[in-house]
Each structure stands twice: as C-alpha cells, then as structure tokens.
Chain A
Amino acid sequence: MKIIGFWLLLGLVLAVQIGLMPALRPFGAVPNLMLVFVVLVGLAGTASTALIAALIGGLLLDLTSGADFGLRIGLLVLAALVTGLVHRAGLTLAGPAVVMAVVAAGTVVENAAVLAGLAGSGTGWPLGFIVGKLALEVVLNLGLILMMRPLVARLIADAGTQSVN
C-alpha cells in the first residue's frame, strides 16, 4: 500500500466528485466516483484504508449535500466493509467482475436510499425516469471503474497485488 499515492488520489477524487461531477452532470446523472474509489481501494489495499476514504469522502459529500445528512457516510462505510469481506474471502481474483458487481450494487442501494427519503414528499413517481436514471448512473460508474483501475493499481496497490488487475 502506497500511502502518498492514496492521499493524492483521494484528494483528486474528492475534488472531482464534489466540484466537477455535479456541475457537469453527464446526460443528467451524477456518477459516484467516490464509491468506485472506495471499492477499488478496499480490493487493492486494506479494509482500514478503504474505511478512511469512506469516512472522509462521505463526510465531505454529506456537507456538500442539502439533504439526507449521513446517507453518504453510511453508504460508503458499508461499501468499504462489504469490499473488505469480499477481499478477505479471496473473491478478488475473479478480476473486474467483482469490482463491477459491488459498485453496481452500491449504486442501486444509494438510489434506493435517496428515493426512500422522498417517500412522504407527495411527489409523483415517474418509473421510466427513475429506471433510466439508475441505469445511466450504473453505466457511468462502471465506465469510471475502467478509468480508475489503472490509476489505483499504479498509485496505491503494492507491486504484486492482483486484486485490481
């Protein structure tokens, strides 16, 4: 585990996730680069490092958000814990499929949690819009995995770590 690489990449991911992504909104959705990062770090490094990233990232995202305080800390900590369990079970050898499965599941859980918070708001529930947005977010997050994996492997994972390669 390379500590300097970890902190550099964490700063970069946070800057992009908080400043750039919500303003850019590719196709109207906000991809979750922080979730991708936490999962990749959990598989490339240790559960403790993934938890540190989850705590810092979740807290800053919650402070940026105007609603649902605690949701992002909770989701990212959960993602770090699940990734730690997956890593410990040795499933990481299965290649990118594991990362993709955890990120896709995390995206679905995050969307479900945000929508659950709106249950009493009296808003309409356009199913096509919700499914479309979710599918788009999953696709964007999976695309981000492809971009982030080589960076995490180069800057964070120790030589010989197989988990993200």
Chain B
Amino acid sequence: MHRSKASRRIVIAVGIGGFLAVLGLLGWLGPLRWVYDRTVVPVSHGLASVGSNANEALSNLGRIKSLASDNQRLQQENASLRQRLAADAEIRRDNEILRNQLGLEVAGAPKQVAAEVVAFQPDSYRQFVTINKGSREGLKPGLAAMSGGVLVGTLSDVSVTTSKIMLVTDPEFKLAAKDQDTAADGTLQGQLGNGLVMGKIGQDSQVRPGDTITTSGLGGHVPAGLFIGQVQSVNAHDNVIFQSAQISSPLKINRLRFVFVVMSP
C-alpha cells in the first residue's frame, strides 16, 4: 500500500517534470518566467556580484608578479592608441565635411542601453549571461551587447524585465565579421574552451596576425564596426577552400558587471 503510494508520487513528479520541460521548449513559461524575474533574479544579482568580486580578487592575487610588466605594456598601448585616436578624429571631421558637401546623411552613434549582469550560465561549457533590462526598454533578440568597447555577444532571449546574452565565446555563436585593416570578410564563431575563430575567409583575402577584427554589419541587427578582437594566428592551406584565423578578445567573462546594448540604427 505504502509502496504503491510512493510509486504514484514518483510518476506524478516525473510527469510534472516532463510537462514543464515541454512547456519551456514551446516557450509557454511566460508567467513562471515573470515570477522568476521578480523573485530569483534579485537574489541571484546580489550573489553574482559577490562571486564576481571574489573571482576578480583571487585572479588579481595571482597576477601581482606581472603587474609591473603589464603596466608598462599598457602605457605603450595607451600612447599608440592616443596617436591613432587623434588621427581618427581628423579623418572623422574630414568625412563629415565631405558628406555635408555631397548632401549625404552624417551617421550618428547608435543609441545604447546600459544594463547590469544579474546571472551567469550555470554550467561549464555554454556561455550566457542574464542582464536586468528587457523588452520594456526596447530590447529585442539579435541586438549586440558591448562592454569596455568590446563586443560581448548578442541578445538571444528577451523577457519583459530581463534578457539573456549569448556571449561571443559560446560554441553556437556565429556572426559576420571583417578584418578592418584588409577588409577581408568572414564568419566569427565561438569555440569550446573560450576560443574565437574567424572562418570562411576567402583564399584570395588577406588576414595578418595583429589585424583588428570588427563586426561587418551584414545581416541581423548588429551594426558594422564594433570591435571584437585581434588576429592571433592565421590557418591557411592551399588544399582547403577557406582560411581561418584565431582571434583573441580582451573580454573577461567572469568580470562582466555592466554591458551596453547597442540598439539598431
């Protein structure tokens, strides 16, 4: 008698589990998601901040030895970037003058929505974060998210008050990208192990280590020119159709606290 009662409970529990999984796959968990956003997310937000801070503190402890050399390298990089910025400002001004003379529209910077990271993906292989802004702020799937001037990923799932970002390092992430220095086009894809690869680069295109990789703006809601990373190495063989390049991104996922969602122009 007792055993049959227990068996019945088990069958009911398994049934509920299957039913919830099917509802979720069909995208019919709206009310449950509403409750989740208002109860679990605030708690998760606080704990995620604590976890990120602890992670950063531990990683800083391990980097104390290399701080002096890092500082020197960053100062050199800073000086070179200042020089480049000054040259770019000059070019931008010339561009604006010429566009005005030709009667062309001067492109403005797209609007950005600031958001805070409230939860991280709860497993080791996939790469997602949840932010505290959603469709109420005009966000929609496919929009790009930036942090520290670097592309973080694109919005994959948007509810009223929260959104999920698929990070560039997720193995299922794919986006059209281009080499800013040589104009070579390709497809950026995340890899297992946090790597980034730009594939489908034509054999006649040129890609060199150190080149800057940005979004190409082809397809979707991601504007052109968003910084992704730099070419680390190029993999080119005569017997394959496409070249590929390993990209290094300065993005530190565990230290993500704030992101800016770039609204479509």
Contacts and interface: CB of A to CB of B under 8 A. Distances in A.
B193 A77 contact: no
Contacts of A123: 171-172, 189-192
A67 B17 contact: no
B122 A21 contact: yes
B55 A23 contact: yes
A15 B39 CA distance: 11
Given A60-B36, A121-B172, A69 B24 contact: yes
Contacts of A115: 125
A65 B126 contact: yes
Contact of B40 (A18, A66, A68): A18
B192 A124 contact: yes
Interface in A36-90: 46-48, 51-52, 54-55, 58-70, 72-74, 77, 80-81, 84
29 contacts: A18-B44, A18-B122, A19-B48, A21-B51, A22-B48, A23-B48, A23-B50, A25-B51, A25-B254, A47-B6, A47-B10, A51-B9, A51-B13, A55-B17, A63-B36, A64-B44, A65-B121, A66-B126, A66-B128, A66-B166, A69-B21, A69-B24, A69-B25, A70-B20, A74-B17, A77-B13, A80-B13, A118-B125, A118-B171
Contacts of B121: 22, 30, 64-67
Which has the most chain B C-beta neighbours within 10 Å: A23, A81, A114?
A: A23
Given A54-B17, A84-B10, A64 B122 contact: yes
B126 A122 contact: no
A12 B195 CA distance: 34
Which has the most chain A C-beta neighbours within 10 Å: B25, B50, B120, B126?
A: B120
A27 to B, nearest CB: 10
Interface of B: 6, 9-10, 13-14, 16-17, 20-22, 24-25, 29, 32-33, 36, 40, 43-52, 54-55, 119-126, 128, 130, 156-157, 164-166, 170-172, 189-193, 195, 197, 254
Contacts of B125: 111, 114-115, 118, 133
B122 A22 contact: yes
A109 interface: no
B120 A23 contact: yes
Given A24-B55, A123-B189, A129-B192, A30 B40 contact: no
Interface of A: 14-25, 28-30, 46-48, 51-52, 54-55, 58-70, 72-74, 77, 80-81, 84, 110-111, 114-115, 118, 121-126, 129-130, 133, 137
Given A19-B46, A115-B125, A123-B190, A24 B54 contact: yes
B122 A30 contact: yes
Contact of B124 (A15, A16, A29, A126): A29
A161 to B, nearest CB: 17
Given A23-B51, A63-B33, A124-B192, A58 B122 contact: no
A-side interface mostly:
helix
Contacts of A29: 124
A29 B122 CA distance: 10
A62 B164 CA distance: 13
A65 B40 CA distance: 13
Given A24-B51, A30-B124, A125-B192, A62 B13 contact: no
Contacts of A17: 122
A36 B82 CA distance: 52
Contacts of B119: 18-19, 22, 64
Contact of B126 (A68, A74, A81): A68
B130 A25 contact: no
Contacts of B164: 66
Contact of A73 (B20, B32, B44, B128): B20
Contacts of B191: 123-124, 126
A111 B123 CA distance: 9
Contacts of A126: 191-193
A90 B193 CA distance: 41
